[in-house]
Amino acid sequence: MKQIIFFRLLENIRKLKYSKFIFLLVSLIISLLVLKNQLNWLENNCTNSRYSPSCEMKNMRIYFFPILLFIMFYMLLFMDKLYFIFKKIFEKLGQLNDRRVFLISAAISSLLGVLIFYIRFSFLIINPKETLWLNSSDWLQNYLGGYVFQSVPWQFPFGVNNLLNYPIGTSVGYSDSIPILAFLFKILKPIWNPEYQYLGLWLFICYILQGFFSALLLKKWNMHIILKIICSFFLFLSPILLNRFAHITLNCHWIILAIFCIFLSRISSNMKLFYLTLVLLFSVWVHPYIVLMVIVFYIMFLLSMISLKEINLKYVFMNIIGVCFFTYFSWYLIGYFHLKGIYDSGFGVYSSNLNVFFNPLSRNVSQFINPLFTPSDKFEGFGYLGLGVLILIIPLFFQKKYNIKQCFDKKYIYLNISVFLLFLFSLLPIIKFFDFTILEIKFPEIILNIFGTFRSNGRYVWPMCYLIVLYVLLKWVLSNRSLSKKIIILFILFLIQLWDIYPLYKRIPFQSGNISYDEDYIKKWVSFVGDKKNLVFYPTSADILYKDFWYLTAKYGYTTNVGYFSRNDDSFMKKNEQNIFKIISDGNFDKNSVYYVLKSQKNLFKNIENNKNFTCQEIGSYYACKLVDN
């Protein structure tokens, strides 16, 4: 009744002589005020350059916001007509069959992936020639590792690169250069310039697949298409994905969603095992952390099939043998076994915390919730759900019955067990709530060494985050509330979620262009090195800028012992450092090597200063010496 009265009021207002003009004028004034506000903001904040973080989304601030508000305010005059138009559309959407509902929701979710990718990164980074955006932090290691790998001739195992980490070499996997793409583009070397980058393409694909599998995950449940789209948006815009941009390889959270899809789908158990095996075999060529995650799901799924007597034990055995062989052979080809560095210490240093779901950990995550106390080294255990999801969770605590059975059948308990085991692993070895220790487990040394391979175990909280969001969404969607209430509540809370985690998806300012190298500096090195092959720096443990030396390796085929790798043979490197010191001190230089130190340490070469068999030169920040060519 109130609705009818309001609509009649709008109709009467439109009949007034100047009503439309007044609404138009007011809408224009509002949009101009917004434009002025945005221009003032830009004038006060956008002072450095067009690429300054304060200048992000400049065109959106100047054009999009004012125009959008103008249209929205003016359309208030026609709210009744819009209501009936949307009502008809709403009714027609509700009549769509399941296949069309999935196709539409998957397309919209995938397009959201494209949109968020554009808002955050821009399509600029898909261009393989654009490398300047990678000139920082771990991205530089990922890019240069792939660049050097693609520049040098094939070796065996194929993923080993003996030019980096001299004299023992390293693997393309230890520079986190996404082995599957590094191999692919090295094969395409005749038509692919090794200086090109493929990391932007990987990010783009990951964002699209995140949207697609978010929609596919909801296909099992019968719900209105609008609800499916909103729920898929919640799953896509996950803070744990958006916070992972620093580690490009690990942006493949769609693999977690794909595993959930397999567990929850209506296909036969044999087909589930087939798809799960494919996901596992693919992850082997992406990153070891993802592999361990998938293996846990794989093993638990086999156990579920055995317990339900849905599979022959002989087939299980053959499948496991095949997976183990493929994994071992693939990792051997990638070069993971080239070093002892696959084992490492420090398990638990980067673990998670029981407060992880409501703790942003950083001021650059949530607009509403400040970071709660957690040790600074727990950033890898990030699992903040977002304010919108947290608000959705609160009413569930006051309900007497959760009726989880309506969300998941009993046979899916193995999915829950898999997620719980990974969550438990993310907390070990000391389970804490804030700084309060709840449980500390003392593992034998051999177990710690094995677990040390996955010392950033806090990452294994990710599946639990996605499962919680899925549980909560299904609890609301499958409730007895009216459809309109469910849509309105979820939509409003999605907007709150968007607002809350804005710092995670706002534009990251990138400059267009290629990574530059000081050509005069490079020429000095090339001129001094001559026909030598090895660039040997002392001390090897020093943290120096390695960009130019990896470029020299890729361009001229020199070996180098500087750089950062995710794993290394530390015991060998310590012995090698001592050996280099002895070589420099004794003047017993290798004829194919150039030895160099920081200029502040040039006194290490004092024993050869007046020896005519040696020549030395200052090059930039370094002091280099070599044997004179005969």
Residue 415 and residue 282 in one domain? yes
* Count of domains for the chain: 3
User: pLDDT at position 258, please?
Assistant: 97
Q: 486 with 613, same domain? A: no
| Tens-digit pLDDT profile for residues 522-542 | 999 999 999 999 999 998 776
- Helix, strand, coil shares of the chain, percent, nearest 5, are 65, 5, 30
Mean pLDDT for 611-615 is 88
In this prediction, residue 396 carries a pLDDT of: 82
Digit-coded pLDDT (tens) for 249-302: 999 999 999 999 999 998 888 899 999 999 999 999 999 999 999 999 999 999
E strand spans, 90-197: 160-161, 170-171
Q: Which of 43, 75, 95 is the last residue of a domain?
A: 95
Is the same domain home to 500 and 533? no
Q: What is the mean pLDDT of residues 587-591?
A: 90
Is the pLDDT assigned to residue 45 strictly greater than 80?
A: no
Cα–Cα distance measured from residue 252 to residue 184, given in angstroms and rounded to the nearest whole number: 18
* 472 and 609 both lie in a single domain: no
Indicate whether 211 belongs to any domain.
yes
State yes or no: pLDDT of 341 exceeds 70. no
Say whether both 291 and 376 belong to one domain.
yes
Q: Are residues 530 and 552 in the same domain?
A: yes
**Cα end-to-end distance, the chain, whole Å:** 102
What would the mean pLDDT of 36-47 be, rounded to a whole number? 74
Q: How far apart (Å, rounded) are the C-alpha atoms in residues 73 and 69?
A: 6
Q: Is the pTM of this model over 0.85?
A: yes
Model pLDDT, residue 4: 65
For residue 377, the model assigns a pLDDT of: 59
Is 212 or 612 the better-scoring residue by pLDDT? 212
Q: Does 398 score more than 80 pLDDT?
A: no
Q: HSE on the CB side for 274, CA within 13 Å? A: 6
pLDDT-derived band at 630, boundaries 50, 70, 90: low
Q: What pLDDT, on a 0 to 100 scale, did the predictor assign at position 516?
A: 85
Residue 191 lies in a domain: no
- Work out the pLDDT band at 375, boundaries 50, 70, 90: low
220 and 290 within one domain? yes
Which of the residue ranges 58-72, 133-147, 262-276, 599-613 would you say has the lowest mean pLDDT? 58-72
Verify that 16 and 63 share a domain, yes or no. yes
From 95, 121, 146, the end of a domain falls on 95
- Mean pLDDT across the stretch 306-313? 80
* Token output for 248: 């490009």
pLDDT of residue 283: 97
DSSP per residue, 611-627: -TTEEEEEETTEEEEEE
Q: How far apart are CA 554 and CA 485, in angstroms?
A: 60
Same domain? 531 vs 492: no
Smallest Cα–Cα separation from 418: which of 280, 284, 222?
A: 280
Question: Which is more confident, 250 or 43?
Answer: 250
Query: What is the Cβ-side half-sphere exposure of residue 255, based on CA atoms within 13 angstroms?
Result: 26
Q: Give the pLDDT confidence score for residue 117 in this predicted structure.
A: 94
DSSP string, 377-440: GGGGG-----HHHHHHHGGGGG-S---GGGTS-GGGHHHHHHHHHHHHHHH-SEEEETTEEEEE
Confidence grade of residue 37 (pLDDT, cut at 50, 70, 90): confident
Share of the chain above pLDDT 90, in %: 42
Mean pLDDT to the nearest integer, 35-53: 67
What the block records as the tokens of 202 is: 């990987």
By C-alpha distance, which of 320, 437, 288, 305 is closest to 375?
Answer: 437
Same domain? For 252 and 398 the reply is: yes
Q: 117 lies in a domain?
A: no
> What's the mean pLDDT in 319-344?
86
Task: Classify residue 123: in a domain, yes or no.
Answer: no
In a domain, 254, yes or no: yes
Q: What pLDDT, on a 0 to 100 scale, did the predictor assign at position 409?
A: 61
Q: What is the pLDDT of residues 147-188, one digit of tens each?
A: 999 988 888 899 999 899 888 889 999 999 999 999 999 999
pLDDT at 84 over 90: no
The reply to whether 476 and 556 lie within a common domain is: no
Q: From the CB of residue 301, how many other CB atoms can be counted at a distance below 10 Å?
A: 22
The predicted pLDDT at position 440 comes to 86
**221 and 249 housed in the same domain:** yes
What average pLDDT does the segment 485-507 reach?
Answer: 90
In a domain, 286, yes or no: yes
pLDDT for residue 54 is more than 80: no
Out of 11-20, 50-59, 615-624, least confident range = 50-59
The pLDDT tens digits for 462-482 are 999 999 999 999 988 988 888
**What's the Cα-to-Cα distance from 494 to each of 10, 72, 235, rounded to whole Å?**
29, 19, 11
Categorize the per-residue pLDDT at 50 as very low, low, confident or very high, splitting at 50, 70 and 90. Answer: very low
**Has residue 186 been placed in a domain?**
no
More confident residue, 377 or 587: 587
Confidence of residue 305 (pLDDT cuts 50, 70, 90): confident
Q: What is the pLDDT of residues 564-579, one digit of tens each?
A: 888 888 888 889 889 9
- What pLDDT shows up at residue 535? 93
- Domain span at residue 395 reads 200-311+343-505
Q: Which of 95, 122, 137 is the last residue of a domain?
A: 95
Tell me, yes or no, whether 216 lies in a domain: yes
Is the pLDDT at 339 greater than 90? The verdict is no
**Whole-number pLDDT of residue 46:** 66
Average pLDDT, the chain: 86
